[in-house]
């Protein structure tokens, strides 16, 4: 039995094999390169079209991998060639190099490398799964450098958009902490997500049939029920950057320029598309229409509504999400701008138990979660997370890392006290 090569040697061979497979396979793209290879090949600074051939300069290999001896060993193989120009390394005979890689312990590395998975899927007995490897590989479009490059290009093309950056929180999918599998959502919310995904996948068909008014969602429900969490989780799920804006901040700080800034925010979203434009505190629109006589404010509100009319997911590739804790304040003009109203109710007992199980999954909890779910009627998802946090701190204060019934009682009292103070109990 051939002994496995050193991990550092296998890492060098993985990079060289990846370069050769990628250069000889035109159908592979940037998302078939894992993050390490992208870095060595110089891919990822806002570029999703990779210029071939990718090369492996020996100096870059040493700098990124922080190893020396293994690189020298790899150069001794007959299937590795060192080019004089720039001291680049390359595989000169792919099949012998691939067999060496498999026989010396490289097989476990294939599943984390889509390019190699594509090659090895039908090579000997490697049993590689290209589709699974590509699905698990971080997308280049999800990265901060890629987003930064897109933002820079957008501003370079239209300098007036620079001011809109002060009014937005722009996040790449990889920066978003919320993830859909970790959220407890309703069947209705799940159906809406499925429709959005279908619209994105069949965008050309919808355009050809002039079905354009898709992808304007209004999230309604009490505080703490997951509206913001789901909006952000969709960034990771759909691989779209998210632009967060709070209307109250814009109108209070930039009243004289509010109309222009709202217009620029939507211009920026269309320029950066595909993306998610998330407008929190959307009820501020209704409050302004009902109670404010200021002419500038009225113009700002009208500008907001007009821009909502002009943007959609199918044509512009902008998923618009508005969120409000006070849907009763929205007038008909605001409601009719959205093609989907998504309800975020307080969780029922089954959902409360599911949330508690999820929140305590990484903790040692000796309490009866089913009983706790039954006792927390009226608690939001955020309330339940606060409850568990307080219970854990209670346990730590008494010198234990295991949450017991007394700790959970402490958490219940804290949440009930908070809700009483803010008048929601």
What residue segments make up the domains of the chain, in order of their start?
A: 7-138, 142-343, 349-421
What pLDDT band is residue 159 in, cutting at 50, 70 and 90? confident
Structure tokens, 178: 């919320």
**More confident call, 159 vs 368:** 368
Q: Which residue has the tokens 């993306």?
A: 275
Using the predicted structure, report yes or no on whether residue 416 has a pLDDT greater than 60. Answer: yes
End-to-end CA distance of the chain: 70
Own/partner long-range contacts of 62-67 (Cβ < 8 Å, ≥24 apart): 64/36, 64/39, 64/40, 65/8, 65/11, 65/12, 65/15, 67/8, 67/11, 67/12
Q: List Cβ neighbours of 273 (8 Å cut-off, separation of 6 or more).
A: 316, 317, 318
Q: Tell me the pLDDT band of 169, cut-offs 50, 70 and 90.
A: very high
Percent of the chain with pLDDT over 90: 73
Tell me the pTM: 0.87
Mean of pLDDT over the chain: 90
Element housing 318 (H / E): strand 318-324
The topology under which CATH files domain 349-421 is Helicase, Ruva Protein; domain 3 (1.10.8)
> What is the 3 state secondary structure string of 65-89?
HCCCHHHHHHCCCCCEEEECHHHEE
Residues 6+ apart with CB under 8 A from 96: 78, 79
Residue 255: both structure tokens together: 């009243």
Confidence of residue 406 (pLDDT cuts 50, 70, 90): very high
425 has a pLDDT exceeding 60: no
Please state which of the four CATH numbers 1.10.760.10, 3.40.47.10, 3.40.50.300, 3.40.605.10 is assigned to the domain occupying 142-343: 3.40.50.300
Predicted local confidence at residue 307, as pLDDT: 94
pLDDT reading at 253 higher than 70: no
Summarize the confidence of residues 195-199 as an average pLDDT. 97
Please, which pLDDT band fits residue 45 given cuts at 50, 70 and 90? low
**pLDDT tens profile 280-318:** 988 877 666 665 556 666 777 788 889 999 999 999 999
330 vs 199, higher pLDDT: 199
Give the pLDDT confidence score for residue 332 in this predicted structure.
83
pLDDT (average), residues 237-254:
81
Comparison of pLDDT for 161 and 47, the residue scoring more: 161
Average pLDDT (334-363) is 95
φ/ψ (deg, to 5) at 31: -80, 0
Specify the range with the lowest mean pLDDT, choosing from 156-170, 212-226, 250-264, 383-397: 250-264
Q: Identify the band that residue 214 occupies on the pLDDT scale cut at 50, 70 and 90.
A: very high
166: its two tokens: 């002060």
What is the pLDDT averaged over residues 343-348? 97
Q: Whose structure tokens read 């998504």?
A: 342
Q: What pLDDT is attached to residue 22?
A: 97
**pLDDT tens profile 89-130:** 999 999 999 999 999 999 999 999 999 999 999 887 678 999
pLDDT given for residue 424 in this prediction: 57
Average pLDDT over residues 374-399: 96
Question: CA 227, 376, 413: angle at the middle one, nearest 5?
Answer: 105
Residues in the chain: 425
Q: What is the pLDDT of residues 259-282, one digit of tens each?
A: 788 888 999 999 999 999 999 988
190 or 45, greater pLDDT: 190
Q: What is the pLDDT of residue 69?
A: 86
């Amino acid at each position: 039995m051939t002994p496995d090569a050193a991990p550092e040697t296998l890492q060098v061979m993985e990079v060289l094999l990846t370069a050769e497979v990628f250069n000889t396979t035109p159908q592979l793209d940037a998302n078939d390169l894992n993050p390490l290879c992208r870095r060595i090949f110089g891919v990822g600074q806002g570029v999703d079209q990779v210029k071939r051939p990718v090369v492996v300069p020996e100096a870059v290999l040493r700098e990124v991998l922080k190893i020396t001896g293994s690189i020298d060993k790899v150069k001794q193989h007959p299937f590795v060639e060192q080019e004089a120009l720039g001291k680049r390394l390359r595989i000169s005979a792919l099949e012998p190099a691939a067999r060496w890689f498999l026989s010396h312990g490289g097989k476990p590395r294939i599943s984390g490398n889509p390019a190699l998975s594509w090659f090895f899927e039908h090579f000997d007995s490697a049993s590689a799964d290209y589709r699974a490897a590509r699905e698990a590989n971080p997308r280049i479009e999800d990265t901060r450098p890629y987003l930064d490059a897109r933002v820079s290009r957008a501003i370079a093309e239209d300098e007036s958009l620079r001011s809109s950056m002060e009014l937005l929180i722009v996040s790449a999918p990889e920066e978003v902490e919320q993830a859909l599998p970790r959220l407890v959502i309703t069947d209705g919310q799940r159906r809406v997500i499925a429709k959005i995904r279908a619209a994105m996948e069949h965008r050309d068909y919808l355009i050809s049939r002039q079905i354009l008014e898709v992808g304007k969602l209004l999230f309604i429900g009490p505080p703490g029920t997951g509206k913001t969490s789901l909006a952000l989780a969709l960034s990771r799920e759909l691989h779209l950057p998210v632009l967060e804006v709070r209307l109250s901040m814009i109108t209070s700080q930039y009243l004289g320029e509010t109309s222009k800034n709202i217009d620029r925010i939507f211009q920026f979203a269309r320029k950066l598309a595909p993306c998610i434009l998330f407008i929190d505190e959307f009820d501020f629109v209704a409050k302004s229409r009902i109670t404010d006589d200021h002419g500038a404010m009225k113009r700002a509100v009208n500008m907001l509504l007009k821009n909502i009319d002009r943007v959609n997911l199918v044509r512009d590739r902008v998923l618009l999400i508005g969120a409000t804790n006070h849907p009763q304040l929205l007038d008909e003009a605001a409601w009719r701008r959205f093609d989907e109203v998504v309800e975020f109710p307080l969780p029922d007992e089954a959902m409360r138990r599911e949330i508690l199980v999820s929140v305590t999954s990484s903790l040692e909890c000796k309490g009866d979660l089913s009983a706790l779910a039954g006792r927390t009627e009226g608690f939001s998802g955020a309330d339940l997370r606060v409850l568990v946090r307080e219970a854990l701190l209670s346990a730590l204060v008494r010198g234990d890392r295991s949450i017991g019934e007394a700790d959970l009682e402490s958490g219940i009292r804290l949440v009930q006290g908070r809700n009483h103070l803010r008048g929601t109990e």
